[in-house]
Structure 1
Amino acid sequence: MRKHLIVLLIFALLLPVAASSESEKPTFSLMGYDHTETYRDWSTNLFFERLAHRTGVTFTFQQYTESEAYHKALAGLTADGDLPDVLFKADLSPAESMQLLERGVLVDLKPFIEQYAPNLAAILVQQPEVESAITLPNGAIASLPFINEAPAQNCMWINQDWLTALKLNMPTTVDELTSVLEAFKTRDPNRNGKNDEVPLAFIGAYDLKYLAHAYGLTANDFNLFERDGKAVFMPLEPEFRTYITWLNDLYTRRLIDRDGFSTMDALRRVTDAKATPVYGILLAPLVSSVLPAEWTASYRVVPPLTYQGQQVYRTIADPVTTGTFAITAACKDAGAALAWVDYLYSEEGATLALAGQEGVDYVVDGDGTWRKTDITSQPGYLSESGIMTGTVPPGISNDAFQRRYSDQTVRNVSEQIDIVSAIAQTPFPTMPLTQEQADYIAPLQAAIGRYVDESIARWTIGEWELTDEQFAEFSQQLAALGLQEFMTFWQEKLDQHAEVHDATQ
C-alpha cells in the first residue's frame, strides 16, 4: 500500500512538468507588469511573436500597466482561484515570492531547473552566488532572475583634457587625488580665465560614501559590509573618522562641490555641447547622464584608489535582479514554460530580447560590429519590438554582444567601466526577507541610514566639529536609534545565508 502511494505521489509531482509533444505546443496565460510609459502592448509585441516561431509556445496576456494595481492583484492570488500559468516581468519581492509559494500559488522550480532549463542551470553552476541570491530561506526557488553580466558602476569620471593640459597623471592614491583636485581648482584647466571650476562634483552623502574606498572602506546602502563572516557597520570603523576629516578638508578648500548636498542631476545637467566644461571629476554611472554626449570622450574613469597596498570599491547594485519570472500551480506543463524562459538565458535569446531580429532590427557588418537598421528609428518601433525597457524581464544581458555595437563611444565607455568592475565587490550579500522581517528592519534601516547621511553632511560642511566628543555623541545616538538590534538582525541573516550557501555547494 505504501509503495503504491509513493508511486501515486511521484506521478502527481511529475504531472505539472510533463513535456509537450511536437504536435501539442502549449498556450499559456501570462500575467505581469510593464509601466504605461513603455507604450508596449504584449499582445502585439514582436518579441513574443518571434519567440513563438522559435519555440511554438504562445500566450494569452494579462498585462498590468500600473504597479499598485498589479501588486494588489498578486496579493489576491490563491491556489484555488483563477491563476495565470506564468508571471513574466513579475516584479516580485522576495517576501512576495515566499508568500505566494507558501499559499500554494507558485511552484518551487528548483527540482526542475537542471532538466528543463539547461542554460540557467549552467549559470548557477558557474556562478553559485546567483543561486544563493534566488534561493529562499526554506531552500526553494520560487522565481527566476535577470543577470546583468556587466552592471553599471558609480564611477569617478575625470576630465582627461584637464589632466593633459596641466601635465598631471591619473591619481592612484588619496594624496594624489587631493593634489589633482587642488590643481583643478587653482590652475584654470578650462582656460577661460575664471575661477569657475568644480574639482569634484557629487550629489549627497550617497555619492560621498563611494569616496570612502580611498581609505579602504566600502559598504552597502545600509552602511554594512561583511568581514570574515561578521556583519560590520562601516561608520564605526577607525578609518571612518580619517575619511570624514578628509572630506571636511576638501569642502573647506572648495575642492568638492559646495552645492553637492542641495543639488540634483536636473539642476546641474549641461545640455549645450559648446559650453565651457567646469567639472573636473564627476561621480556618476555615466558622463552622459549629466554632461553632453559629445563630451564623453574627454572623460576617463579613475581606477579605485590604492590604500595600504590594496584597491577596494563597492558595486552600485547587485548584478542579480530577483523575482522576474515564476510559474504557478495552474500551469499544466511547467517543463515547457521553463524551457521557453530558459532561451532568454542563452546569448541568442538575450540578443533577441535586447536588439531584436538580425536582418530586421539590426545587421552585423563584416568587422563583427552590429548596428541598428533604419526601421528601429520609426516612432514607437522599439516599444513594439523589444522587451528590455520597463520592468526587468528574466534572462541575461549578453554583454559580449553589446560590446560589439558599432558606436565606438559606447564601446569605450564599457571599457572604462570595466576598470571599476574589475575591483568592485558587493560589500554585503543581498538576502531575501520575509514580509515580517522586512517590516521589522525597514524602520531601523531608515532611521539609522538617515542619521549617518546627515552626520556625514554636517561633518563635511563644518557644522559639526571633528572632536572626540562629537564622534562619541555620534556613536551614542546610533545606539539610541537601535544599532544593536539592527546589527543583531543582519548577523543572524548572514549566518542563515552562509548555511544556505553551504547547502547549495
Structure 2
Amino acid sequence: MKKWSVLLVALVFAVVTVLSGCSSDSGQGGDSGDAKGKTAITPPGQLPIVNEKVTLKVLVRGNSSVEDFATNEFTKWLEEKTNIHIDWEVAPEKSATEKLNLVLSSGEYPDVIMGFGVSPTQMMIFGTQGVFLPLNKLIEEYGVETKRMFQETPSAKDLITAPDGNIYALPQVNECYHCFLSQRMWIYKPWLDKLGLAMPTTTEEFREVLKAFKTKDPNGNGKADEIPMAGNPINFRDGVDSFLMNSFIYNPADKRLLLNNGKVDVSFNKPEFKEGLKYLRSLYAEGLISPLSFTQDANQLKQMGESEVPILGASSGHNMGTLATLNGKSGRWLEYVAVPPLKGPKGVRLAAYNPYAVSNGQYVITKSAKHPEAAFRLADYMYNQEVTLRSIHGRIGQEVRMAEKNEIGINGKPALWKQLVGWGQIQNVHWSQTGPSYRTSDFRLGEVASPDQPLEPTLYKETKEKMEPYKVSLDQVLPPLFFTSDQASELADLDKVINDHVKEMIARFVTGDVDLDKGWDGYIKNLENMNLKRYLDIYQQAYDAKFKKK
C-alpha cells in the first residue's frame, strides 16, 4: 500500500509539473515572464498592447476639468486602442496629498499611481523599499516613445534618474513658455478703465488701485461688495505672497528654495521676507485682501471671480482660469490681464523663473502591479504626439485638427495643429493634462495663432511682454534634485514640518493673528529648532553631487 501511495504522489507531481510548464509557455510577443502575471504582450510599438484584455487599477489625482475618468471619451479610446481596461480610484483634489500618503502607508497599493507628481523624496524612499518598480529594464525592452522623448529631450532622462541609477516614475514633459514664468498677478481691467487708473508699476501704486477698487464702487451696483484682492492657500501660485513677495526678495515655487552663489538657501527667513510680510499685513489691515484667502480652495476663489456681478479685483495665479472659467460663457476670463512685476520700496522687481520643463512623478508602477509590462506600455504610448494631443485637447477633427498650409503658429513658424474648442472648462472628452504626455516648445507654440482661441496666444504675449524682462538669472534657480534613500528619509519629516510652519506663519503674520515685529524672532528660532540648517545641508549635498561632480 505504501508503494502505491508513493507512486500516486509521484504521478500527481508529474501532472502538476507538466501543466505548470504549459502555462509558463503560453505567453506570446514580448512577455518577460514576470511572476506577477504572464500577459501576452505584443511587440514594442504594436497595438493593441495585449492580445487578451487586462485591467489596471489606477489611483489618479482628481482634476476639476475632468467630469469622470471612467466614462471619459479619451479613456474609452485608449482602452480600445490598447486592450487595457482601467479601474479608477480618484483622489479628490483638495485632499489628494493626504490620500496618497494614506495609500503609501497602508501597504495596499494600486497597480499605478498617476497625476500626483510623486516627489523625489517619496520616490527614493518607496523605490529603494521596492514599493515603486524601477522602470529601466521596461524602458529598454519596451520603450518606443519614451526612447524618442529621451533622444529629443536628453534633459528629461537626466532629471528623472535617481542617484542609484534607477527611474522610479515617468514624467510629463511640457516645454511651456508661459509656465516658466507662472507666478503672475491678474487684475480686472474693466475696473481700471472705469476708474481711469493706469496699470500699477510699484507696490504702492498697487495699494492705491486696490483702495480704489474697495471704495469707488467699480461694479456700479451701489454696494460695498467689491473684493480688491483674494487668493487661496492650496496652490502656491494662488497664494497672496506668490507674486507680491518678488517685489522684496526672490520668492520661488512652493518651498521658496533658491541658489545664492552656488549655495542652497531659502527666502522665508530673510529680513527682506519680513518686509514683504509687512506690506501684505498692511494691505490686509486696510481690508484690501479677503480673509478667505487663507482658507478657501481653488473652486471657491473661482466662484468669487465668476459672480454674477463682478466683485473680484485681483488674484495671483498661473493663468486667468484662477479667477474665472477659461473659455467660460461670461467671457470674464479675458477681462483679467497680467500685472507686470511691481517695483518694491528698495527697487526689487523680479519674476520668478523655472525653466525646467519636466514634471516628474506623474506615473508610478507599484510592486502590486499584476501586469507591469502592460502598465509601462500604456504610459509609453501616451508620449506619442497624436495621443498627447488627444489626452490634453480632445479628438482630432472635433476638438482639434492638424494645421493647414499657410497657417502660422504662435511662434511665427508654420503651424502644426489648431484648437477648435476652448480649453479649461469641465468636460469629458480628454484628461486635461493628467498623466504622462510629451510637448516640446515647438509643439506647444506650433498651435495656430487664432483670435477665436485666444488662451495660448494671450498667455504667450502677456509673459513675453510683462514677465520675461524681469526674470531672475538661471544661476539663482535651484534645479529639480534627487536624494539618496537616507537623505530622503531624513528630508521627508524636515520638509513637512518646516514648510507647514512657514505656510501657517505667513497666514498668521498677514492676518495679524501674530504680531510681526514681536513674533518674528520666535518664528526664526522655531525654524532653527526645526533644523532648517540640516534641511539646507541635505539639499546642498544633493546639488553638489549632481552639479559639482567635476
Q: So what's the TM-score if we normalise by structure 2? A: 0.66
Distance 1:262 1:327 in 2: 34
Aligned partner of 1:320 in structure 2 is: 359
Aligned partner of 1:399 in structure 2 is: 444
Distance 2:315 2:461 in 1: 14
User: Contact between 1:198 and 1:257, CA under 8 Å: does it hold in 2?
Assistant: yes
Alignment of 1:257-272 (within 5 A): 257-267=290-300, 269-270=302-303
Distance 1:74 1:31 in 2: 19
Aligned partner of 2:134 in structure 1 is: 106
Aligned partner of 1:444 in structure 2 is: 494
Q: Which amino acid aligns with 1:490?
A: Y
Distance 2:217 2:357 in 1: 39
Aligned partner of 1:192 in structure 2 is: 221
Aligned partner of 2:50 in structure 1 is: 27
Aligned partner of 1:138 in structure 2 is: 164
User: Contact between 2:356 and 2:479, CA under 8 Å: does it hold in 1?
Assistant: no
Offset at 1:235? Answer: 1.7
1:49 aligns with 2:80: yes
Offset at 1:213? Answer: 0.9
Indicate the structure with greater helix content: 1
Give the secondary structure class of the aligned counterpart of 1:158.
Answer: strand
Q: In structure 2, do the counterparts of structure 1 residues 475 and 39 end up closer, same or farther at CA, with 3 Å as the change threshold?
A: same
Moved more, 278-287 or 266-275: 266-275
Match of 1:218 among 225, 245, 251: 251
Offset at 1:450? Answer: 2.8
Alignment of 1:270-285 (within 5 A): 270=303, 275-285=308-318
Offset at 1:410? Answer: 3.4
Distance 2:74 2:298 in 1: 36
Distance 2:286 2:162 in 1: 49
Distance 1:24 1:412 in 2: 36
Structure 1: gaps (5+ residues):
1-13, 51-57, 78-82
Aligned partner of 2:199 in structure 1 is: 170
Match of 1:472 among 502, 521, 524: 521
Offset at 1:164? Answer: 1.3
Q: In structure 2, do the counterparts of structure 1 residues 361 and 331 end up closer, same or farther at CA, with 3 Å as the change threshold?
A: same
Distance 2:535 2:309 in 1: 47
User: Contact between 1:42 and 1:63, CA under 8 Å: does it hold in 2?
Assistant: no
Distance 2:127 2:285 in 1: 53
Distance 1:358 1:164 in 2: 40
Match of 2:337 among 283, 291, 300: 300
User: Contact between 1:109 and 1:142, CA under 8 Å: does it hold in 2?
Assistant: no
Q: In structure 2, do the counterparts of structure 1 residues 15 and 284 end up closer, same or farther at CA, with 3 Å as the change threshold?
A: closer
| CA displacement 1:229-263 (0-9 Å, x = unmatched) | 21212122231121112112212222222443344
Q: Which amino acid aligns with 2:89?
A: T
Match of 1:353 among 391, 406, 418: 391
Aligned partner of 1:80 in structure 2 is: none
Offset at 1:22? Answer: 10
Distance 2:507 2:371 in 1: 56
Distance 1:219 1:24 in 2: 43
**Structure possessing the higher relative contact order (Cα contacts under 8 Å, 6 or more residues apart):** 1
Distance 1:212 1:197 in 2: 24
Distance 2:306 2:126 in 1: 51
Aligned partner of 2:89 in structure 1 is: 65
Distance 1:190 1:303 in 2: 24
Aligned partner of 2:411 in structure 1 is: none
| CA displacement 1:295-330 (0-9 Å, x = unmatched) | 1121111123345465222569975133526699x9
Q: Which amino acid aligns with 1:494?
A: Y
User: Contact between 1:350 and 1:395, CA under 8 Å: does it hold in 2?
Assistant: yes
Aligned partner of 1:161 in structure 2 is: 190
1:243 aligns with 2:282: no
Match of 1:39 among 62, 67, 70: 70
Q: Which amino acid aligns with 2:359?
A: V
Q: So what's the TM-score if we normalise by structure 1? A: 0.71
Distance 1:355 1:256 in 2: 35
Distance 1:243 1:309 in 2: 11
Q: Which amino acid aligns with 1:33?
A: V
Distance 1:160 1:22 in 2: 50
Offset at 1:145? Answer: 1.3
Offset at 1:278? Answer: 1.9
Give the secondary structure class of the aligned counterpart of 1:301.
Answer: strand
| CA displacement 1:13-57 (0-9 Å, x = unmatched) | x997x995999986376745155951249998222434xxxxxxx
Q: In structure 2, do the counterparts of structure 1 residues 275 and 485 end up closer, same or farther at CA, with 3 Å as the change threshold?
A: same
1:459 aligns with 2:509: yes
Matched positions, count = 461
CA RMSD, aligned part only?
4.9
Give the secondary structure class of the aligned counterpart of 2:420.
Answer: strand
Give the secondary structure class of the aligned counterpart of 1:65.
Answer: strand
Give the secondary structure class of the aligned counterpart of 1:474.
Answer: helix
Moved more, 232-241 or 271-280: 271-280
User: Contact between 2:59 and 2:88, CA under 8 Å: does it hold in 1?
Assistant: yes
Structure 2: gaps (5+ residues):
1-29, 33-40, 63-67, 92-98, 408-416
Distance 1:459 1:333 in 2: 49
Give the secondary structure class of the aligned counterpart of 1:235.
Answer: coil
Aligned partner of 2:36 in structure 1 is: none
Distance 2:500 2:378 in 1: 44
Offset at 1:174? Answer: 2.0
Moved more, 269-278 or 20-29: 20-29
Aligned partner of 2:241 in structure 1 is: 209
Q: In structure 2, do the counterparts of structure 1 residues 40 and 492 end up closer, same or farther at CA, with 3 Å as the change threshold?
A: farther
